[in-house]
Every structure is written in structure tokens, then in C-alpha cells.
Amino acid sequence: MSESKDTITKHDPLPSPATEGADVDMGQYRATVPRWKRVWQHSLTQMILLSIQAFCGPAMADAITGLGGGGLATPHISNIATAITYALLAVVCFLGGPLVNKIGVKWALVIGSMSFPIEGSAYYCNSKFGNQWYLILSGAISGIGTACWYVAEAGAIMTLAPSGARGKYLALWIVSRNLGQLVGGAINLSKNHEKGAEGGISPDTYIAFLIIESLALPFALLITPFERVVRSDGTKIVIAETLSTKQELKRIAKTMTSKLIMLSALWALWSFFYSGTWSTYLGTYFSVRSRALSSLISPFFCIVGCFGLGFILDMKSLSQRRRAQIGLYIVVILNVGVYIWSIIMQTRFNSHNPGHIDWDDGLYASSFLPYFFIQTTGPLSQSYMYWLLSSFATDAQENVRNGAAFRCIEAIGQAIAYGMNTQTTSNPLVGFCVTFALLGVALVPMIMLVNSTPDRIPADVVAEKQDEAFEKRVDL
């Protein structure tokens, strides 16, 4: 006698990883699962929890970086510590796919969130007591902990969203990071607004950052495993069969040599290469309070830009490949404009050193605006790339591996950038030119990758086949 689908799923409306059905019986799910649990397991709720962690952790780190040289009197030690952070982050990210797939996304986020407050405390100790060894040690600890968090985050942001809302979900994530910079910038400005202040940022500024960084941990503990998440369209996340550690390690080589990563590697190297040079630029040419103001106002345009790009990438009237092509054109054109402007400004500064530019100086607007726009074009490049990577994945674990590989190469680029700026602290022109050249070199393989974008996400195709197989089995 045949059984109905409702009978099979009577005790648990969520198909387990062992079953073939990928969709959720939403009627039974609403009838049998308490509202609080449905809200908690919803993909948007999980994305918000992840975004809050991004607000408390990476966004606060970005706000400190936005002070120019970490807000210290000279950017040299900050650049050394940051270079160490990204060097270790690259190493851990290289092994991050197997690690996160073994311990789970939730516990990788917990480990990472525990490392966030260390950076704020190290900058405070350096600013208050001149303690440089702790700042450098914190760079190493943060590199390891943040790498765990970044790999888990990358896998989550590419997996949680329904196929028709990936751009908007990624925009929410990017905006949360920039809202963190907005709050951080308000803290900076409130404590560093007096004209004529010399040296570094007030030590009390870092205490506020430290408090916010400590809040990431409880939100990490609220993350639910992927197999329990229900997307807004009723689909489940496709979970592949668990692999052994040896098999996971073999997948590293397969992932790193895949067409997807090989063609996107130079873009990953370039994507955040600008951060080291712009941090040095602010620390070299801007006063304390103008650096504080820059960290407050720079996120505004990014919020509008990221949601605008998200709507374009989610347009149902265009094929996925066409949306990928349009997104690439937008990101590249905006970045080219910013880099040309920044190189022109730095060439002028090399001819005539402006000293420490204050916000009431006539030169402030033209010298600050390139930094303002790079804080939009940089995150746009990131949001677009993660959207593109998720267009190729077949399951959640593959998203984690691809995200780990991308983050590894990205961290190598950041380590090189900050290391390079420890040697070119008085002339950011070298960094601007290298970054601009990297964009040009990365563009050709990216065009090849974008033109091979599948018209449908492979994971969605897999889910549909699982559903069809499940229906056939139920009808037997």
C-alpha cells in the first residue's frame, strides 16, 4: 500500500540530511513547530544573527583601520600587526574548509567571536601604555580566530539565502558591516573632535570598541545548524554526505585547482588589497579629528550602493549569467574611476606635502572623497564576488570550501598590502598603482569566469532532483 508524503514526514516536517526530499512541508511545519522556533530557524533570522556578529567583530576592526594606522600616532606598528593577522589568516583559511565542515559553522563562529575583543584590547594597551608586543601578539591570535569565523561566515552567506534573494541577503551582510563602521565612527568622532589634536586617537575610544566586540559571542551561540534552517521559499539547504578528514584534505587541492578558484584568484588577491594603502594614506595626511570624521561618514553611500547592486543581481527578468555580466561591469567601472582619482591626488601630495589635513581645510573634500568612494566600491566588489561564487555551488559544504579558498587568497593579498605599506609609509602612491594594476590583471580571468556562469544554481538543480526522487519513492 502506498504512503503519502504527509505520513512519512508526520513526526518531523523537516527532512533530515539522510532523506532525499529537500523541500519542507510548510503547512505541517507551521502546524507542528512553535512560532519562536520557526522564527529562529528561518534563513533571514540566521542571516541577521550572522550580520550582527559582522557588526560587532569585522566592522569594529574596520572602524579601527578607518582611523588610519589603527588610530595610533604612527601607522608603522599597526601595519606590522595587521600584516601578521592576515598572514596567519591566510594559512588557517587554507585549511578552513575541512575544519569548518568538521566542527560545524556554528562552533567555528563561536571560536572566531571569542577572538574579536583581543584586537580592541591590544590597541588600547598600545595607546595607553605604549605596549607594542601585545599589539603584535594580538595580530597573531586574531588571525587564527578570525580565520575560523571568516570561513564559516563565507560559507553561510553563500548558503542561507533563497536563490531569488541572494543579492539582497548579501547586501544585508555588507550593510551590517558598514553600520558597524558608522557606529564606530560616531564613537571616534565623539572622543576625538577637538581641533589641533596631535598624535593618536584617545585611548578611551578603544574601550568602546572592546565592549562592542565582546557582544558577538552570544549571537554566535544562537546560530542553528544548516540542516535545521528553513528558507523563506520553503526550501532546505542541500547538505552533502559527511566526509572523513582525509577526504576533506583531498578536497583542498581539488578546490584550489578548480576552474572557479583559479579564475577568481587574482580578483580575490585584489579585492581588499586597497585597505593597507588607504589606512596608511589616512594616517599620513589627515588630522586626528578628520580621520575620526572619515570613519563616520564613509559607510553612508555603501549602504545605498550595496542594496542597489543586490536588486540588480536578483532581477528575475534577466538570466543569471546576464546579471553576473552587468554586476561585473558596474563594479569595475566604479573602481577604475576611484583609482584614477586617488593616483592623481597622491601625485599632487608627492609634489607638495599637505601636512595633516583638517576637515575645515579647503583640500579636505577633494582628498577625502576618493577614500569615501573606495569604502563603497570595495564592499561592492566583495558582495558581487560572493554572489558569483554561490552561483556555482552544488551544496553547503562546497560553499564553505570555495569561501575558504577565496578568503585564503584574499588574506594573502591583505598581508602583502600591509607588509608593503610598512616599507612605503610616506608614499602611498606605490600601493595605489599596484592595486590598480592588480585590478587590470584580474579582469581578464574574471570575464572568462562570468561568461561561464550557469543559468541556474547547481544546488537548486540538485534540490529539485532530490524532490522528484522523493515524490517517486512516496508514490510507490
CATH code for the domain in which residue 276 is found: 1.20.1250.20
Asked whether the predicted pLDDT for residue 151 surpasses 90, the reply is no
Residue 31 lies in a domain: no
119, with CB counted inside 10 A (0-12, 13-18, 19+), is buried
Asked whether the predicted pLDDT for residue 20 surpasses 60, the reply is no
For residue 250, give the H/E element and its range: helix 245-256
Residue 11: pLDDT band by 50, 70, 90 thresholds? very low
Structurally, how many domains does the chain consist of?
1
- Identify the pLDDT of residue 7: 38
**Helices and strands (DSSP H and E) totals, the chain:** 22, 0
Query: How many residues would you count in the chain?
Result: 476
CA 336, CA 412: separation in Å to the nearest integer?
Answer: 22
- Identify the pLDDT of residue 458: 76
Residue 228 lies in a domain: no
Residue 446 lies in a domain: yes
* Cβ neighbours of residue 387 closer than 8 Å, sequence gap 6 or more: 166, 167, 170, 313, 327
Q: Beta partners for 230? A: 42, 236
- The half-sphere exposure of 27 on its side-chain side, counting CA atoms within 13 A, is 3
- Identify the pLDDT of residue 247: 82
Residue 7 lies in a domain: no
Instruction: Collapse the DSSP code of 86 into the 3-class scheme (helix H, G, I; strand E, B; otherwise coil) and give the result.
Output: helix
Residue type, 463: A
221-279, pLDDT tens digit by residue?
999 988 888 887 777 787 767 777 788 888 888 888 899 999 999 999 898 887 777 77
Listed in order, strand segments (DSSP E) in 259-348 are: none
Residue 10 lies in a domain: no
Residue 303: pLDDT band by 50, 70, 90 thresholds? confident
- Identify the pLDDT of residue 207: 85
Q: Measured in whole angstroms, how far is the alpha carbon of residue 260 from the centre of its chain?
A: 18
Residue 27 lies in a domain: no
Residue 236 lies in a domain: no
Provide the mean pLDDT of the chain.
Answer: 80
Domain with 431, as residue range(s), is 39-223+244-475
Q: CB neighbours (10 Å) of residue 263?
A: 18
Check if the beta carbon of residue 144 is closer than 8 Å to that of residue 137.
Answer: no
Residue 476: pLDDT band by 50, 70, 90 thresholds? low
Q: Measured in whole angstroms, how far is the alpha carbon of residue 20 from the centre of its chain?
A: 32
Residue type, 131: N
Find, among 258, 323, 270, the residue nearest to 444 by Cα: 270
Range in 300-314, 315-329, 417-431 with the lowest mean pLDDT = 417-431
Check if the beta carbon of residue 150 is closer than 8 Å to that of residue 28.
Answer: no
CA 257, CA 259: separation in Å to the nearest integer?
Answer: 7
Check if the beta carbon of residue 359 is closer than 8 Å to that of residue 290.
Answer: yes
* Cβ neighbours of residue 340 closer than 8 Å, sequence gap 6 or more: 436
Asked whether the predicted pLDDT for residue 354 surpasses 90, the reply is no
Residue 327 lies in a domain: yes
Check if the beta carbon of residue 476 is closer than 8 Å to that of residue 339.
Answer: no
47-93, pLDDT tens digit by residue?
999 999 998 988 888 777 656 545 554 556 777 777 788 888 888 88
Asked whether the predicted pLDDT for residue 367 surpasses 80, the reply is yes
Asked whether the predicted pLDDT for residue 17 surpasses 70, the reply is no
Check if the beta carbon of residue 180 is closer than 8 Å to that of residue 55.
Answer: yes
Check if the beta carbon of residue 248 is closer than 8 Å to that of residue 100.
Answer: no
Residue 33's alpha-carbon distances to 12, 15, 191, 221, in angstroms, are: 9, 14, 48, 21
